[in-house]
Structure 1
Amino acid sequence: MGVVTDIRGRGRAAKLRSVSLFWRIFSLNAVGLIVAAALLLGPVTVSTPVLPVEALMVVGGLAALLVGNALVLRIGLAPLQRLGRAMATADLLHPGARAPVSGPVETAALITTYNTMLDRLEAERAAGAARALSAQERERHRIARELHDEVGQTLTAVLLQLKRVADRAPEELREEVSQAQEATRAGLDEIRRIARRLRPGVLEELGLTSALRSLAGEFTTDGLTVRHHVCGNLPHLTEESELVLYRVAQEGLTNTARHAAADRAEVRLRPVAEGVELLVRDNGRGLDGAPEGSGISGMRERALLIGATFSLAPAPGRGTDIRLRVPAGTEGGRR
């Protein structure tokens, strides 16, 4: 019996939604005018001068008509107000939020059109982000190759020349030549470090686990200690997913080193239901209500590229948690 009542209630609600806003307002106005005309033609008359009872009846009828119109407009326009709030808070970096389809037929059609437009915009943004990030990775590889092959080789040649100069230089100049050698060697090491960040060769050659271990070691300095923990039973990941995981971990540690004022951080990668979860946690100053910068936006876009879920939240106690949940791929990934 309850099921039948529920079905009938849904049927009545569907019929009510199929009535347009125009006919709702028109029907209520028509009913009010018909009732007023019937009363004037029937027992209700207006005297000259107007009697208090007659004035009260006219005012009461007018008030009832206005209240009815207000209720119809309030009910009919409420879905438009919800649509306006949904449009004001829409963010393509936080996809999936849709305005509920309700109200008269015109309003429901408008909300449906908006949701369809949002679907198309999110799909186009994802495609555009994929092309942009792919071009960015190609440019990173090109710059890394030029730094390694051209600038690196040039500095190596300078080191060899300085070695020959040091062998023939007088005693009073050898200290200065030695300092030049150390500065050149430090510049060469920095060039190699930048090239490794631009093009993670360890990821391509040894896999994600070794790449994250190397990344943690790279960011471990005198003021920051980075621990890493990668589970050994990870599901298969596509190369694209592995690259996004690496880049998000790299950007998260870069933000920690530059802005968090932290002395400890950790990188964890573990299997979860239907995928893996990356956690980058630090014990720094936390979010402090600061607006998201280009680094966070870039991580969100990379997450959208592979259908992953990205979140940024305060860490337990103090600091920041960056989480990236990536669905497992159908291709065999490197581990």
Structure 2
Amino acid sequence: MNDRAGGRPGDASGQGAPRPPAQALFRRLVLINGLVFAAGTLVLALSPATVSSPVLLAEVPVLLVGLAVMLFANALLLRRSLAPLDALTTLMQRVDLLRTGDRLADSGNSDLTHLIDTFNAMLDRLEAERSASSAHALAAQEGERQRIARELHDEIGQSLTVVLLALKRVVDRAPADLCEELHGVQETVRASLDEVRQVARRLRPGVLEDLGLHAALSALATDLSRMGGIPVTRAVEPDHPALGADVELVLYRIAQESLTNIARHARATRAELSLTTEDGRLVLRISDNGRGGAGEDGAGIRGMRERALLIGARLSVDSPPGEGTHVRLVIPDPSDRSTLS
């Protein structure tokens, strides 16, 4: 049977497919201009006004007023029809895939509804793809960190331990005039071993795996107080909802990055870290009384935003100049999250 008998192929209703947005907008503009010119022609035909040939000087104001009215009506109707394009352009300029949920509402303009829906669907797709690619990248990053941490601990750490033991045997047999020098070498090797262990702990949070999130966050705060000289006030609820391994890892990494930024850049004299439950949502806060004024997101903050997206959380960073920096992570449903893998 000929396809023309039942409409387009695959169209069970027998009706044609929707017009493309460009064609629909073109028809609307033609219709608006046609209606304006038709209205102007009708008014001219029904009104007592006449136009002489050649045009008399007294008739010029009438023609100018009529032209101005037609242009104004045409501009008003076109502006109303094309208004969603301005909103769409503004959204394109401010869109950021790390700040999700920014969408353009349907204004009721039937000709541009398809364009708005297509753009919103594109943002949904891009955010999903960005989240998936970030999950793979961060999972690979965590795997690489664990591998490096194991090598530092198992290979370099053990090698330095062997060196310390060998030095001890040498010191026991060395002449008295060399003992002081050898003791200095021992302290240098011991300090290097401590640094290797600290780097390994930062790369692979063994305390998180062994003792849980509460102890891991407390350890981070203690490290900042001991190494950075910045006292940290802690308020971590021990009885928070059950969390998945991925949620705990994201919370740990964001707290770690925030506290590291405080130690390196904030010039703060005190800091606060809290993990509380508010209205069924888990909220992590890290703040300081430093100089603030953080401008555009750097690599660290963008990495924090990417991690937050992996568990469907919202991250906000408020850093007014001279008033410190305040990081807030909100997890709507911490008990129901997928893993980084």
Matches within 5 A, 1:1-335: 20-38=24-42, 39=44, 43-102=48-107, 104-221=109-226, 223-286=229-292, 288-314=293-319, 318-326=323-331, 327-330=333-336
Tell me the amino acid that sits aligned with residue 147 of structure 1.
Answer: L
CA contact (8 A) 2:36 2:74 kept: no
CA contact (8 A) 1:20 1:104 kept: no
Tell me the amino acid that sits aligned with residue 328 of structure 1.
Answer: P
SS at 2:111 equivalent: helix
Distance 1:27 1:170, change over 3 A: same
Pairwise CA distance, 1:299: 0.7
Hey, what's the Cα distance between the residues in 2 that align with 1:208 and 1:317?
Answer: 31
Residue by residue, what CA displacement relative to the aligned partner does 1:239-278 show, whole Å, maximum 9, x if unpaired? 1101111111111110000001112112111112223111
> Gaps (5+ residues) in structure 1?
1-18
Pairwise CA distance, 1:25: 3.2
Distance 1:289 1:256, change over 3 A: closer
Range with greater deviation from structure 2 (215-224 or 133-142): 215-224
Tell me the amino acid that sits aligned with residue 205 of structure 1.
Answer: D
| Alignment RMSD (CA, Å) | 2.2
Distance 1:35 1:328, change over 3 A: closer
Pairwise CA distance, 1:126: 0.7
Range with greater deviation from structure 2 (298-307 or 68-77): 68-77
> Gaps (5+ residues) in structure 2?
1-22
CA contact (8 A) 2:274 2:285 kept: yes
Hey, what's the Cα distance between the residues in 2 that align with 1:220 and 1:127?
Answer: 36
Residue by residue, what CA displacement relative to the aligned partner does 1:158-182 show, whole Å, maximum 9, x if unpaired? 1111111111212211111110000
TM-score (normalizing by structure 1):
0.87
Distance 1:51 1:116, change over 3 A: same
CA contact (8 A) 2:294 2:319 kept: no
TM-score (normalizing by structure 2):
0.85
Hey, what's the Cα distance between the residues in 2 that align with 1:272 and 1:41?
Answer: 70
Hey, what's the Cα distance between the residues in 1 that align with 2:281 and 2:321?
Answer: 24
SS at 1:220 equivalent: helix
Pairwise CA distance, 1:54: 2.4
Q: How many residues align?
A: 312
SS at 2:260 equivalent: helix
CA contact (8 A) 2:32 2:78 kept: no
Tell me the amino acid that sits aligned with residue 91 of structure 1.
Answer: D
Tell me the amino acid that sits aligned with residue 213 of structure 2.
Answer: L
SS at 2:238 equivalent: coil
Pairwise CA distance, 1:317: 8.5
Question: Residue 18 of structure 2 aligns with which residue?
Answer: none
CA contact (8 A) 1:208 1:246 kept: yes
Hey, what's the Cα distance between the residues in 2 that align with 1:172 and 1:309?
Answer: 63
Pairwise CA distance, 1:290: 2.4
